[in-house]
Structure 1
Amino acid sequence: MHELSITEELLKTIVAKAEEAKARNVSRINLVIGEYAGVVEDSVKMCFEILSQDTIANGAILEFSRIPAKFRCRLCGHTFPSGQNLLVCPECQGWNAEVIAGNEFFIESIEVDDESQSS
């Protein structure tokens, strides 16, 4: 399960950015995952719950946004979404397409409570 190593790196980045901002705790993390990124949301959530214990990200809510896959035909340049014939260009029927969107996996934003806020 590669989600474990992905989540470890994700958590390191989140904690570092939150500490840099002098945050008291992390409340929400907004992640973007491409359709073909090969990342399973439930696995990331499970790993995050375990790994974030005893960190300022413990209890943070993970929100996921999905980016659909998009392709560009290398023969005619036409761009198109994924469909039934995944890599077949609907314009020229060519089989030489490249993925131009849908492989993404990144932190869009981190919501924190800073030190100046009181409980």
Structure 2
Amino acid sequence: MHEVSIMENTINIISEKAKENNLKNISKITIKIGELSGVMSDSLIFAFNNLSKGTIAEGAKFLIEKVDATAMCDDCGITFEIDHFNKLCPKCNKFSTNILSGYELYVNTIEGE
């Protein structure tokens, strides 16, 4: 379960940013997770609930924003949704290697006082 190590790093990032911005407590954290990232949201929430205890992030609202996986066709130029197994353009049926989104995994916002 690599979500535990991801959350350890996330809490470290949040703690560093809170210190840089003189925040005494964190009320809300939003992260973005791409559909193709391989991260399980439920496991990440579980890890946050356990690893945030005793940190500046304890008690903060933890939100996950899902990012759809999309690609752009190199031949006809349209943007379309993809998944792990299907990256074929729905218009011209060509395989696309131009992935636009879906691999995101980052802290998007931190709110606090």
Structure 1 and Structure 2 fold alike (TM over 0.5): yes
Question: Is the alpha carbon distance of 1:22 and 1:96 closer, same or farther for their aligned partners in structure 2, counting shifts above 3 Å?
Answer: closer
Q: CA deviation at 1:13?
A: 0.2
Q: Is the 8 Å Cα contact of residues 29 and 111 (structure 2) preserved in structure 1?
A: yes
Q: Tell me what 1:108 maps to.
A: 108
Q: Tell me what 1:90 maps to.
A: 90
Q: Is the 8 Å Cα contact of residues 72 and 98 (structure 1) preserved in structure 2?
A: yes
Q: What percentage of aligned pairs have identical amino acids?
A: 37
Q: Tell me what 2:67 maps to.
A: 67
Q: CA deviation at 1:74?
A: 3.6
TM-score normalized by structure 2?
A: 0.87
Q: CA deviation at 1:8?
A: 0.7
Q: Tell me what 1:11 maps to.
A: 11
Paired with 1:52 and 1:46, the residues of 2 have a C-alpha distance of: 10
Structure 1 segments of 4+ aligned residues over 4 angstroms from their partners: none
Paired with 2:33 and 2:47, the residues of 1 have a C-alpha distance of: 16
User: Greater CA radius of gyration, 1 or 2?
Assistant: 1
Q: Is the partner of 2:7 in helix, strand or coil?
A: helix
Paired with 2:56 and 2:67, the residues of 1 have a C-alpha distance of: 28
Q: Number of matched residues?
A: 112
Residue deviations 1:24-52 (CA, integer Å, cap 9, x gap): 11111011111111111111111112111
Structure 1: where are the runs of 5+ without partners? 114-119
Q: Is the partner of 1:97 in helix, strand or coil?
A: coil
Query: Is 1:49–2:49 an aligned residue pair?
Result: yes
Paired with 1:73 and 1:64, the residues of 2 have a C-alpha distance of: 28
Q: Is the 8 Å Cα contact of residues 71 and 97 (structure 2) preserved in structure 1?
A: yes
Structure 2: where are the runs of 5+ without partners? none
Structure with greater proportional strand content: 1
Show the 5 A alignment for 1:15-26: 15-26=15-26
What is the Cα-based RMSD across aligned positions, in Å? 1.7
Q: Tell me what 1:116 maps to.
A: none
